Amino acid sequence: MWLILVKDLRRNLRNGFFLVMGIITPLVLAFVFNLVFGGVTSGRLDVPVGYLDEDRSEASARLGDLLDGLDDEGLLEVTRLERGTDPAEALGDRDLTAVVEVPAGFGAAAGGAEPPVIGVVGEDDAPTSVGIVRAVVEGFARESDRERIGAAAAAALDVAPPPPATRPAVALVDRDAEERLDAGAQIAAAMASLFLFIISLLGVNSLLDERRDGTLARLLAAPIPRSSVIVAKILVSVVLGVASVMVLVLAMALVLGADWGAPLGVVALVVALSVTAAALTLLVAGSARTPEAAASLQSSLAVVLAVLGGGLVPLPDGGLVGLLSRLTPHRWFYEGLRSLAGDAPWTAALPAVAALAGFTLVLGAPGLVLARRRLAP
Protein backbone atom coordinates (compact mmCIF):
# COMPACT_ATOMS: atom_id res chain seq x y z
CA MET A 1 0.00 0.00 0.00
CA TRP A 2 2.77 2.44 0.90
CA LEU A 3 4.71 1.58 -2.26
CA ILE A 4 1.66 2.33 -4.40
CA LEU A 5 1.06 5.57 -2.45
CA VAL A 6 4.62 6.82 -2.97
CA LYS A 7 4.60 5.81 -6.64
CA ASP A 8 1.35 7.66 -7.36
CA LEU A 9 2.44 10.75 -5.44
CA ARG A 10 5.64 10.95 -7.46
CA ARG A 11 3.73 10.55 -10.72
CA ASN A 12 1.21 13.26 -9.85
CA LEU A 13 3.89 15.69 -8.72
CA ARG A 14 5.68 15.23 -12.04
CA ASN A 15 2.78 15.59 -14.49
CA GLY A 16 2.07 19.24 -13.62
CA PHE A 17 -1.71 18.93 -13.21
CA PHE A 18 -1.49 19.05 -9.43
CA LEU A 19 0.85 22.04 -9.54
CA VAL A 20 -1.48 23.99 -11.85
CA MET A 21 -4.91 23.01 -10.50
CA GLY A 22 -3.96 22.35 -6.90
CA ILE A 23 -1.51 25.18 -6.18
CA ILE A 24 -1.20 27.90 -8.82
CA THR A 25 -4.82 28.36 -9.94
CA PRO A 26 -6.41 28.47 -6.44
CA LEU A 27 -3.70 30.88 -5.27
CA VAL A 28 -4.10 33.23 -8.22
CA LEU A 29 -7.90 33.24 -7.99
CA ALA A 30 -7.83 33.76 -4.23
CA PHE A 31 -5.52 36.76 -4.57
CA VAL A 32 -7.57 38.23 -7.42
CA PHE A 33 -10.92 37.79 -5.65
CA ASN A 34 -9.45 39.19 -2.45
CA LEU A 35 -8.23 42.24 -4.37
CA VAL A 36 -11.64 42.80 -5.96
CA PHE A 37 -14.05 41.77 -3.20
CA GLY A 38 -11.94 41.85 -0.04
CA GLY A 39 -13.31 45.21 1.09
CA VAL A 40 -16.92 44.12 0.58
CA THR A 41 -16.62 40.83 2.44
CA SER A 42 -14.80 42.49 5.31
CA GLY A 43 -17.71 44.83 5.93
CA ARG A 44 -15.98 48.02 4.69
CA LEU A 45 -18.10 50.19 2.40
CA ASP A 46 -15.99 53.37 2.11
CA VAL A 47 -18.84 55.42 0.62
CA PRO A 48 -17.18 58.56 -0.84
CA VAL A 49 -18.74 61.56 0.91
CA GLY A 50 -17.93 65.25 0.73
CA TYR A 51 -18.30 67.47 3.80
CA LEU A 52 -18.93 71.15 3.14
CA ASP A 53 -18.78 73.19 6.35
CA GLU A 54 -19.90 76.76 5.60
CA ASP A 55 -20.51 77.50 9.29
CA ARG A 56 -17.23 76.52 11.00
CA SER A 57 -18.93 76.48 14.39
CA GLU A 58 -18.60 74.11 17.32
CA ALA A 59 -21.82 72.36 16.29
CA SER A 60 -20.65 71.78 12.71
CA ALA A 61 -17.27 70.60 14.00
CA ARG A 62 -19.07 67.90 15.98
CA LEU A 63 -20.74 66.67 12.79
CA GLY A 64 -17.37 66.67 11.07
CA ASP A 65 -15.89 64.62 13.92
CA LEU A 66 -18.76 62.13 13.59
CA LEU A 67 -18.13 61.69 9.87
CA ASP A 68 -14.39 61.31 10.45
CA GLY A 69 -15.12 58.59 13.02
CA LEU A 70 -17.22 56.70 10.50
CA ASP A 71 -14.39 57.13 8.03
CA ASP A 72 -12.05 55.38 10.46
CA GLU A 73 -14.58 52.54 10.84
CA GLY A 74 -14.72 51.96 7.09
CA LEU A 75 -18.29 53.11 6.47
CA LEU A 76 -17.50 56.42 4.79
CA GLU A 77 -14.60 57.97 2.92
CA VAL A 78 -14.83 61.63 3.84
CA THR A 79 -13.41 64.49 1.76
CA ARG A 80 -13.40 68.00 3.22
CA LEU A 81 -14.61 70.59 0.68
CA GLU A 82 -13.62 74.23 0.60
CA ARG A 83 -16.08 76.99 1.36
CA GLY A 84 -18.09 78.14 -1.63
CA THR A 85 -17.97 74.74 -3.36
CA ASP A 86 -21.14 73.85 -5.24
CA PRO A 87 -22.36 70.50 -3.82
CA ALA A 88 -23.92 69.32 -7.10
CA GLU A 89 -20.74 70.04 -9.07
CA ALA A 90 -18.59 68.35 -6.39
CA LEU A 91 -20.45 65.08 -6.94
CA GLY A 92 -19.10 64.74 -10.45
CA ASP A 93 -15.80 66.58 -10.09
CA ARG A 94 -14.68 64.69 -6.98
CA ASP A 95 -16.33 61.31 -7.79
CA LEU A 96 -18.45 61.58 -4.65
CA THR A 97 -21.63 59.65 -3.87
CA ALA A 98 -23.06 62.31 -1.55
CA VAL A 99 -22.24 65.73 -0.14
CA VAL A 100 -23.20 66.83 3.37
CA GLU A 101 -23.59 70.62 3.52
CA VAL A 102 -23.72 72.63 6.76
CA PRO A 103 -24.90 76.17 5.89
CA ALA A 104 -23.72 79.33 7.57
CA GLY A 105 -25.64 80.05 10.77
CA PHE A 106 -26.04 76.39 11.69
CA GLY A 107 -24.34 76.83 15.05
CA ALA A 108 -26.41 79.87 15.98
CA ALA A 109 -29.64 78.11 14.99
CA ALA A 110 -28.69 75.09 17.11
CA GLY A 111 -29.31 77.16 20.24
CA GLY A 112 -32.48 78.89 19.02
CA ALA A 113 -36.12 78.05 18.80
CA GLU A 114 -36.06 76.91 15.18
CA PRO A 115 -34.23 73.71 14.21
CA PRO A 116 -31.05 74.11 12.16
CA VAL A 117 -30.81 72.81 8.63
CA ILE A 118 -28.32 70.28 7.17
CA GLY A 119 -28.31 69.56 3.44
CA VAL A 120 -27.53 66.21 1.80
CA VAL A 121 -27.05 65.98 -1.98
CA GLY A 122 -26.62 62.51 -3.47
CA GLU A 123 -26.22 60.68 -6.74
CA ASP A 124 -29.44 59.30 -8.20
CA ASP A 125 -27.81 56.01 -9.25
CA ALA A 126 -26.59 55.15 -5.72
CA PRO A 127 -29.73 55.23 -3.56
CA THR A 128 -28.44 52.73 -1.01
CA SER A 129 -25.19 54.58 -0.32
CA VAL A 130 -26.97 57.93 -0.22
CA GLY A 131 -29.52 56.43 2.19
CA ILE A 132 -26.69 55.44 4.53
CA VAL A 133 -25.35 59.00 4.51
CA ARG A 134 -28.82 60.42 5.13
CA ALA A 135 -29.33 58.05 8.06
CA VAL A 136 -26.07 59.20 9.63
CA VAL A 137 -26.99 62.87 9.24
CA GLU A 138 -30.52 62.28 10.55
CA GLY A 139 -29.10 60.56 13.62
CA PHE A 140 -26.90 63.57 14.29
CA ALA A 141 -29.83 65.93 13.69
CA ARG A 142 -32.03 64.08 16.18
CA GLU A 143 -29.30 64.28 18.81
CA SER A 144 -28.83 68.00 18.14
CA ASP A 145 -32.56 68.58 18.27
CA ARG A 146 -32.78 66.94 21.69
CA GLU A 147 -30.01 69.21 22.93
CA ARG A 148 -31.74 72.29 21.46
CA ILE A 149 -35.06 71.41 23.11
CA GLY A 150 -33.30 70.69 26.39
CA ALA A 151 -31.54 74.04 26.29
CA ALA A 152 -34.81 75.88 25.51
CA ALA A 153 -36.58 74.09 28.37
CA ALA A 154 -33.74 74.92 30.77
CA ALA A 155 -33.92 78.60 29.80
CA ALA A 156 -37.69 78.64 30.39
CA LEU A 157 -37.29 77.03 33.80
CA ASP A 158 -34.27 79.18 34.67
CA VAL A 159 -32.04 76.18 35.33
CA ALA A 160 -28.67 75.16 33.97
CA PRO A 161 -28.91 73.54 30.51
CA PRO A 162 -27.79 69.91 30.19
CA PRO A 163 -24.24 69.44 28.94
CA PRO A 164 -23.88 68.55 25.25
CA ALA A 165 -23.53 64.88 24.43
CA THR A 166 -19.96 63.69 24.35
CA ARG A 167 -20.76 60.51 22.46
CA PRO A 168 -21.40 60.45 18.72
CA ALA A 169 -24.99 60.60 17.51
CA VAL A 170 -24.53 57.36 15.59
CA ALA A 171 -22.62 54.36 16.86
CA LEU A 172 -21.83 51.30 14.73
CA VAL A 173 -21.53 47.98 16.51
CA ASP A 174 -20.58 44.89 14.51
CA ARG A 175 -22.37 42.22 16.54
CA ASP A 176 -21.33 39.42 14.18
CA ALA A 177 -17.62 40.27 14.15
CA GLU A 178 -16.73 37.39 16.48
CA GLU A 179 -18.62 34.89 14.29
CA ARG A 180 -17.54 36.10 10.87
CA LEU A 181 -14.67 34.52 9.01
CA ASP A 182 -11.82 36.81 8.00
CA ALA A 183 -12.35 38.19 4.47
CA GLY A 184 -9.16 36.71 3.03
CA ALA A 185 -9.80 33.38 4.71
CA GLN A 186 -13.38 33.30 3.44
CA ILE A 187 -12.31 33.80 -0.18
CA ALA A 188 -9.46 31.30 0.13
CA ALA A 189 -11.78 28.72 1.71
CA ALA A 190 -14.15 28.97 -1.25
CA MET A 191 -11.31 28.47 -3.74
CA ALA A 192 -9.76 25.66 -1.72
CA SER A 193 -12.97 23.68 -1.36
CA LEU A 194 -13.75 24.03 -5.08
CA PHE A 195 -10.39 22.82 -6.35
CA LEU A 196 -9.99 20.20 -3.63
CA PHE A 197 -12.83 18.16 -5.11
CA ILE A 198 -11.11 18.36 -8.51
CA ILE A 199 -7.67 17.45 -7.16
CA SER A 200 -9.10 14.36 -5.46
CA LEU A 201 -9.50 12.85 -8.95
CA LEU A 202 -5.75 12.35 -9.14
CA GLY A 203 -5.79 9.52 -6.63
CA VAL A 204 -8.95 7.46 -6.86
CA ASN A 205 -9.58 8.08 -10.56
CA SER A 206 -6.21 6.52 -11.39
CA LEU A 207 -7.87 3.15 -10.72
CA LEU A 208 -9.80 3.62 -13.96
CA ASP A 209 -6.65 4.75 -15.76
CA GLU A 210 -4.75 1.70 -14.63
CA ARG A 211 -7.64 -0.58 -15.53
CA ARG A 212 -7.70 0.87 -19.05
CA ASP A 213 -3.90 0.64 -19.41
CA GLY A 214 -3.73 -2.92 -18.06
CA THR A 215 -1.52 -2.17 -15.02
CA LEU A 216 -4.38 -2.75 -12.57
CA ALA A 217 -4.56 -6.41 -13.58
CA ARG A 218 -0.87 -6.80 -12.76
CA LEU A 219 -1.37 -5.19 -9.35
CA LEU A 220 -4.28 -7.48 -8.52
CA ALA A 221 -2.31 -10.52 -9.67
CA ALA A 222 0.39 -9.72 -7.11
CA PRO A 223 0.20 -11.33 -3.66
CA ILE A 224 -1.33 -8.24 -2.02
CA PRO A 225 -4.88 -7.63 -0.76
CA ARG A 226 -7.17 -5.88 -3.20
CA SER A 227 -8.14 -3.44 -0.47
CA SER A 228 -4.53 -2.26 -0.21
CA VAL A 229 -4.70 -0.93 -3.76
CA ILE A 230 -7.94 0.94 -3.15
CA VAL A 231 -6.79 2.37 0.19
CA ALA A 232 -3.52 3.54 -1.38
CA LYS A 233 -5.45 5.41 -4.09
CA ILE A 234 -7.70 7.01 -1.46
CA LEU A 235 -4.66 8.13 0.52
CA VAL A 236 -3.20 9.73 -2.60
CA SER A 237 -6.35 11.85 -2.96
CA VAL A 238 -6.27 12.78 0.72
CA VAL A 239 -2.57 13.70 0.78
CA LEU A 240 -2.78 15.81 -2.38
CA GLY A 241 -5.96 17.51 -1.14
CA VAL A 242 -4.46 18.39 2.24
CA ALA A 243 -1.29 19.69 0.59
CA SER A 244 -3.26 21.85 -1.85
CA VAL A 245 -5.45 23.45 0.82
CA MET A 246 -2.69 23.94 3.37
CA VAL A 247 -0.49 25.73 0.83
CA LEU A 248 -3.37 28.12 0.17
CA VAL A 249 -4.03 28.57 3.91
CA LEU A 250 -0.40 29.39 4.66
CA ALA A 251 -0.02 31.69 1.64
CA MET A 252 -3.09 33.74 2.53
CA ALA A 253 -1.99 33.98 6.17
CA LEU A 254 1.60 35.00 5.39
CA VAL A 255 1.00 37.30 2.42
CA LEU A 256 -2.41 38.85 3.16
CA GLY A 257 -2.58 38.30 6.89
CA ALA A 258 -5.73 36.13 6.72
CA ASP A 259 -6.87 35.05 10.18
CA TRP A 260 -7.95 31.40 10.17
CA GLY A 261 -8.30 30.86 13.90
CA ALA A 262 -6.86 28.01 15.95
CA PRO A 263 -4.36 26.10 13.71
CA LEU A 264 -5.23 22.66 15.06
CA GLY A 265 -8.91 23.21 14.30
CA VAL A 266 -8.09 24.38 10.76
CA VAL A 267 -5.94 21.29 10.12
CA ALA A 268 -8.71 19.02 11.42
CA LEU A 269 -11.23 20.65 9.07
CA VAL A 270 -8.89 20.43 6.07
CA VAL A 271 -8.16 16.74 6.66
CA ALA A 272 -11.85 15.97 7.20
CA LEU A 273 -12.87 17.76 3.99
CA SER A 274 -10.08 16.03 2.03
CA VAL A 275 -11.27 12.62 3.22
CA THR A 276 -14.84 13.53 2.27
CA ALA A 277 -13.68 14.60 -1.20
CA ALA A 278 -11.85 11.29 -1.61
CA ALA A 279 -15.00 9.40 -0.56
CA LEU A 280 -17.07 11.24 -3.17
CA THR A 281 -14.44 10.56 -5.82
CA LEU A 282 -14.46 6.88 -4.89
CA LEU A 283 -18.22 6.78 -5.41
CA VAL A 284 -17.93 8.57 -8.76
CA ALA A 285 -15.06 6.37 -9.95
CA GLY A 286 -16.90 3.25 -8.88
CA SER A 287 -19.97 4.34 -10.86
CA ALA A 288 -18.24 5.52 -14.04
CA ARG A 289 -17.00 3.25 -16.80
CA THR A 290 -14.20 5.47 -18.15
CA PRO A 291 -11.74 7.93 -16.58
CA GLU A 292 -13.12 10.70 -18.80
CA ALA A 293 -16.69 10.13 -17.62
CA ALA A 294 -15.56 10.13 -13.99
CA ALA A 295 -13.57 13.33 -14.46
CA SER A 296 -16.50 15.07 -16.13
CA LEU A 297 -18.97 14.05 -13.44
CA GLN A 298 -16.60 14.90 -10.59
CA SER A 299 -15.85 18.35 -12.02
CA SER A 300 -19.55 19.11 -12.39
CA LEU A 301 -20.25 17.97 -8.84
CA ALA A 302 -17.35 20.07 -7.56
CA VAL A 303 -18.83 23.25 -9.03
CA VAL A 304 -22.42 22.48 -7.99
CA LEU A 305 -21.42 21.64 -4.42
CA ALA A 306 -19.24 24.75 -4.18
CA VAL A 307 -22.15 26.95 -5.27
CA LEU A 308 -24.69 25.23 -3.00
CA GLY A 309 -22.23 25.37 -0.12
CA GLY A 310 -22.41 29.16 -0.15
CA GLY A 311 -18.71 29.87 -0.54
CA LEU A 312 -18.88 31.38 -4.02
CA VAL A 313 -22.31 33.05 -3.68
CA PRO A 314 -23.93 33.90 -0.31
CA LEU A 315 -27.10 31.86 0.21
CA PRO A 316 -30.01 32.30 2.64
CA ASP A 317 -30.23 29.98 5.62
CA GLY A 318 -33.96 29.30 5.30
CA GLY A 319 -36.10 27.61 2.68
CA LEU A 320 -35.18 24.91 0.20
CA VAL A 321 -31.90 26.59 -0.75
CA GLY A 322 -30.79 26.69 2.87
CA LEU A 323 -31.67 23.01 3.30
CA LEU A 324 -29.75 22.00 0.19
CA SER A 325 -26.80 24.07 1.36
CA ARG A 326 -26.63 22.18 4.64
CA LEU A 327 -26.56 18.91 2.71
CA THR A 328 -23.17 19.81 1.23
CA PRO A 329 -19.79 19.20 2.91
CA HIS A 330 -18.67 22.66 1.76
CA ARG A 331 -21.23 24.37 4.00
CA TRP A 332 -20.01 22.47 7.05
CA PHE A 333 -16.41 23.27 6.17
CA TYR A 334 -17.27 26.99 6.14
CA GLU A 335 -19.29 26.62 9.35
CA GLY A 336 -16.29 25.02 11.02
CA LEU A 337 -13.98 27.82 9.92
CA ARG A 338 -16.46 30.44 11.13
CA SER A 339 -16.65 28.70 14.50
CA LEU A 340 -12.88 29.25 14.84
CA ALA A 341 -13.18 33.02 14.28
CA GLY A 342 -11.93 35.25 17.06
CA ASP A 343 -10.40 33.55 20.07
CA ALA A 344 -12.42 30.33 19.86
CA PRO A 345 -10.55 27.12 20.83
CA TRP A 346 -9.79 24.46 18.23
CA THR A 347 -12.47 22.22 19.69
CA ALA A 348 -15.10 24.61 18.31
CA ALA A 349 -14.53 22.96 14.93
CA LEU A 350 -15.34 19.45 16.16
CA PRO A 351 -19.09 19.58 15.30
CA ALA A 352 -18.23 20.45 11.70
CA VAL A 353 -15.56 17.73 11.64
CA ALA A 354 -18.16 15.24 12.87
CA ALA A 355 -20.57 16.34 10.13
CA LEU A 356 -17.86 15.86 7.50
CA ALA A 357 -17.15 12.41 8.92
CA GLY A 358 -20.82 11.61 8.42
CA PHE A 359 -20.58 12.67 4.77
CA THR A 360 -17.52 10.44 4.41
CA LEU A 361 -19.39 7.38 5.72
CA VAL A 362 -22.47 8.03 3.56
CA LEU A 363 -20.43 8.52 0.39
CA GLY A 364 -17.53 6.18 1.08
CA ALA A 365 -19.40 3.01 2.03
CA PRO A 366 -21.21 2.53 -1.31
CA GLY A 367 -18.17 3.89 -3.14
CA LEU A 368 -15.97 1.21 -1.61
CA VAL A 369 -18.43 -1.52 -2.59
CA LEU A 370 -18.64 -0.24 -6.18
CA ALA A 371 -14.88 0.15 -6.40
CA ARG A 372 -14.26 -3.45 -5.36
CA ARG A 373 -16.80 -4.73 -7.88
CA ARG A 374 -16.18 -2.52 -10.91
CA LEU A 375 -12.48 -1.95 -10.72
CA ALA A 376 -11.56 -5.60 -10.64
CA PRO A 377 -9.97 -6.88 -13.91
Q: Output the tens digit of pLDDT for each of the chain's 377 residues.
A: 888 888 888 888 888 888 888 888 888 888 887 776 655 444 455 788 899 988 888 878 888 888 888 887 777 888 999 888 888 888 877 788 899 998 888 777 665 556 678 888 888 777 777 888 888 888 777 776 666 666 666 666 666 655 555 444 444 444 444 455 666 778 888 888 888 888 888 887 777 777 777 777 777 777 777 778 888 888 998 999 999 999 998 988 888 777 888 899 999 999 999 999 999 988 988 888 788 888 888 889 888 988 888 877 767 777 788 888 889 999 999 999 888 877 788 999 999 999 999 999 999 899 888 877 765 55
Euclidean distance between CA atoms 255 and 244, whole angstroms: 17
SS3 content of the chain, % helix, strand, coil (to 5): 70, 5, 25
Q: Which domains, from first to last, does the chain contain?
A: 2-41+178-374 (no CATH), 47-173 (3.40.1710.10)
pTM of the model: 0.64
Instruction: Mention every residue, 6+ apart, whose C-beta is less than 8 A from residue 294.
Output: 201, 205, 208, 281, 284, 285, 287, 288
Greatest Cα pair distance, the chain, in angstroms, is: 105
Contact 336, 353 (CB under 8 A): yes
